[in-house]
């Protein structure tokens, strides 16, 4: 008699079915009390740990017959969690591991079977005997199916399972406040020459006789939750800096936690800009106290200063800040740093023949000071708070002024220098013929 039929033949009467379902739901191939949740890195993924057994007994027992089977695993997690593509079950005491592969059919089928079982139980007034519906309310179900396993009569096997699920990410990028909850469900099906391990998944709905190839699935067998901590670093807007200049980049830090105490993070910074010098305003980040209602701490900015070499190659580079929790979990964020060479753009010249001066239009690339000088030219300065067009006056002195007064015209070479607030200077020369009458 097959594994599936042997375990379901007594379930013709609904009450008997529900009673056995309750037995299975109390353990259902999960070792009793083995479920635990943790956040090994202090931040980041939550680890769901549990133990599987070859037989559904609280302390695990040897398989009662030899046959080839597959296990179906359902793990319910908060919506938006990132599930692993595979989950490995490591045998206790040696042996071959089980590999569970992500399978959306499994999640759909376990959910449908458990919902129908609950519905049948309610119809017969035996709702309290049915296992809770899987996935539990408010959680999303993730399904997995194992490779084929040859269970051998009289052999007892246990597997430890550690599955890491990434924390949900909100649409606005805010940190996940927790707690992180889970609900586990398990099923099985036979594998044979006529029922391959690659066939579609279909769970028996607890009505009529189970058909060959159908899987035996139940509802939620074990539930648990844990408090979490989450740090999200937002990306600042791209920053521009001149060669030889210094840029201060502020990264917004957002923290949320239902775990205690809150960690203090070690900070580090890197850049793809060769030979750039980076410094942090603080080597650590200690989050503020989370709000008791939202579990979110106030946003705090952590500043990275980048000094650009004078001989750097203009271009766009990356600057990354990384926060590391004491347990080793890390989170990082990257922003763009555009390195440019300051340039002056000279515009038109307007002569004032009455005074023998000229006004030169100069577009400066950012905040800084524009200076005009040269042989016979009165030195003049103009300041800018941002990139803009400045009008600077060219006026002559000494022998050059005397020549202008005598001849009514003189040619000068105006040397223009722009010194940015931070960075190397930009220079340009303009020949101008002053006229006076």
pLDDT value of residue 61: 67
Strand-strand pairing, 330-340 and 239-242:
parallel
pLDDT value of residue 94: 79
- Three-state helix/strand/coil letters over 108-127: HHHHHHHHHHHHHHHHCCCH
Which of the two residues, 30 and 362, has the higher pLDDT score?
362
- Model confidence, pTM: 0.84
CATH class of the domain comprising 345-435: mainly beta
* CATH H superfamily, domain 231-340: Immunoglobulins (2.60.40.10)
| Stretch(es) of the chain classified as CATH 2.60.40.1940 | 345-435
**Average pLDDT value for residue range 123-151:** 91
For 46-62, the pLDDT digits (tens) are 999 999 987 655 566 66
Tokens at residue 40, please? 């090994």
Residue 104's alpha-carbon distances to 184, 220, 355, in angstroms, are: 15, 17, 85
| Stretch(es) of the chain classified as CATH 2.60.40.10 | 231-340
For 216-240, the pLDDT digits (tens) are 998 999 999 999 999 999 999 999 9
Is pLDDT of 367 > 90?
yes
| Plot region of 138 (φ>0 → left; ψ -120 to 50 → alpha; else → beta) | left
Question: 107: part of which helix (H) or strand (E)?
Answer: helix 104-123
Which of the two residues, 153 and 78, has the higher pLDDT score?
78
User: Which among 340, 394, 392, 344 has a CA at the least distance from the CA of 365?
Assistant: 344
Q: What is the mean pLDDT of the chain?
A: 91
**Average pLDDT value for residue range 144-173:** 90
pLDDT value of residue 1: 31
Integer Cα distance of 218 and 22 in angstroms:
9
**Average pLDDT value for residue range 250-255:** 98
pLDDT value of residue 24: 40
> For 78-221, where are the E strands, in sequence order?
86-91, 98-102, 140-146, 149-151, 158-165, 180-190, 216-217
pLDDT value of residue 59: 65
pLDDT value of residue 8: 38
């Amino acid at each position: 008699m097959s594994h599936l039929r042997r375990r379901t033949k007594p379930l013709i009467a609904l009450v008997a079915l529900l009673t056995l379902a309750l037995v299975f739901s109390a353990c259902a191939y999960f070792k009793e009390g083995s479920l635990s949740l943790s956040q090994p890195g202090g931040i980041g993924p939550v680890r769901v740990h549990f133990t599987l057994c070859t037989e559904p007994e609280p302390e695990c027992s040897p398989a009662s017959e030899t046959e080839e089977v597959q296990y179906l695993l359902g793990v319910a997690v908060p919506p938006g969690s990132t599930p692993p593509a595979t989950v490995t079950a490591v045998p206790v005491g040696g042996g071959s591991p089980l590999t569970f592969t992500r399978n959306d059919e499994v999640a759909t089928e376990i959910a449908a079977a458990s919902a129908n079982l609950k519905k049948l139980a309610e119809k017969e007034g035996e709702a309290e005997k049915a296992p809770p519906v899987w996935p539990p309310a408010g959680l999303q179900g993730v399904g997995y199916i194992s490779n084929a396993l040859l269970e051998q009569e009289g052999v007892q096997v246990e597997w430890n399972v550690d599955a890491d699920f990434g924390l949900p990410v909100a649409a606005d990028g805010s940190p996940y406040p927790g707690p992180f909850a889970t609900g586990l469900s398990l099923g099985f099906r036979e594998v044979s020459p006529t029922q391959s391990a690659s066939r579609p998944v279909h769970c028996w709905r607890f009505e009529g006789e189970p058909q060959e190839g159908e899987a035996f699935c139940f509802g939620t067998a074990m539930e648990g939750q844990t408090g979490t901590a989450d740090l999200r670093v937002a990306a600042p807007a791209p920053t521009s800096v001149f060669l030889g200049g210094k840029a201060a980049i502020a990264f917004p830090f957002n923290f949320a936690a239902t775990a205690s105490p809150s960690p203090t993070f070690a900070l580090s910074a890197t850049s793809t800009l060769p030979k750039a010098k980076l410094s942090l305003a603080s080597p650590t980040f200690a989050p503020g106290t989370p709000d008791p209602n939202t579990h979110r701490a106030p946003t705090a900015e952590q500043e990275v200063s980048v000094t650009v070499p004078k001989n750097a190659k203009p271009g766009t580079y990356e600057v990354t800040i990384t926060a590391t929790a004491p347990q080793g979990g890390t989170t990082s964020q990257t922003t763009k740093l555009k390195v440019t060479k300051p340039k002056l753009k000279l515009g038109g010249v307007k002569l004032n023949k009455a005074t023998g001066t000229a006004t030169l239009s100069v577009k400066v690339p950012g905040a800084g000071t524009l200076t005009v000088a040269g042989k016979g030219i009165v030195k003049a300065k103009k300041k800018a708070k941002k990139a803009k067009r400045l009008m600077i006056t060219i006026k002559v002195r000494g022998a050059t002024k005397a020549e202008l007064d005598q001849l009514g015209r003189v040619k000068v070479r105006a040397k223009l220098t722009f010194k940015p607030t931070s960075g190397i200077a930009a220079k340009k020369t303009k020949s101008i013929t002053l006229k006076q009458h």
